[in-house]
Amino acid sequence: MIEDDTVTDESLLARIAFGDVEALGVLFRRRQQSVFRFALHLTGSPAIADDVTQDVFLAVIRDAGRFDPGRAIVTAWLCGIARNFVRRRLGVAREVASIDDDAFDGPMPAVTPDPLMDLTSGEALEALRRAVLSLPIKYREVIVLCDLQEMTYEDAASTLACALGTVRSRLHRARALLTSKMQAEHKGNEGASGVMKRFIA
């Protein structure tokens, strides 16, 4: 039996490459959340995030032997696979990325101690969520990886298969776009939300 905490992701992948179902189960339980959240933030749809997570680990079953530990950490590699599946799905069902889509209506667990702050923050966060989802995909990816998943720039570069400088420049551009979108939304709802000003002051 595999001790969950002592075996590295790389060792698990090596075992998976030889058909070890138990290792696959351990890796799934350890990393599925990163993959799911990445897909969820990119698409706004828990159902699609579920499907992408499944696709990613099915790909792991087939291609675990192709993982190169010298090029990326396992989480970055998994998110890189997830990125391809997300892009494919967004290409097929582009409306999912639209801010008008009701995919954003799905419940998201909020963690804040103050009920009053919860209400007001929720309004602002929903606006921010919509703004993230309306970003062009290449900017959305860096925001999700670096800001929402707290991945290092190096790992994000591995995930996106691009240079470190590209991650930095995209992130800078993405944040500027987000700010501008939040300002535009605020102007559209002038007076409706004082909380919105917190982000654009």
Partner 1 sequence: MNDQQQRRLTEGLRALAETSRTACASRRVEESVLAEAQRLWGEREGGRHFSSGRWLPLAAGFVLAVVGAIWGARATVPASRGAVIHPSGFVTLPSAYGLPEIESASIIRIQVPLSALPAYGLTAPDALTDSIEAELLVAQDGQPRAIRLVNDPPDTRSRP
Binding site for partner 1 (CB under 8 A): 19, 21, 24-25, 28-29, 32-33, 35-37, 40-41, 46, 49-50, 53-54, 57-58, 61, 108-112, 121, 124-125, 128-129, 132, 143, 147-150, 175-176, 178-179, 182, 198-201
CA 137, CA 84: separation in Å to the nearest integer? 11
Taking the least distance from each CB to partner 1, the nearer of 87 and 129 is 129
Tokens linked to 23: 């290792």
Closer residue to partner 1 in complex, CB, 74/132: 132
Report which DSSP code applies to 147. I
Our CB check for partner 1 shows the closer of 11 and 32 to be 32
- Shortest separation between residue 104's beta carbon and partner 1, angstroms: 12
CA distance 109 to 123: 14
Q: In whole angstroms, how close is the CB of 107 to partner 1 at the nearest point? A: 10
Residue 83 contacts residue 155 (beta carbons within 8 Å): no
d(CA 141, CA 12): 27
For the chain, the C-alpha Rg in angstroms (whole number) is 18
- Least separation in angstroms between residue 60's CB and partner 1 is 8
Query: Least distance (Å) from partner 1 to the CB of residue 23?
Result: 10
Cβ–Cβ under 8 Å, residues 26 and 12: yes
Q: Which is nearer to partner 1, 37 or 87 (CB)?
A: 37
Name the residue type at position 181: K
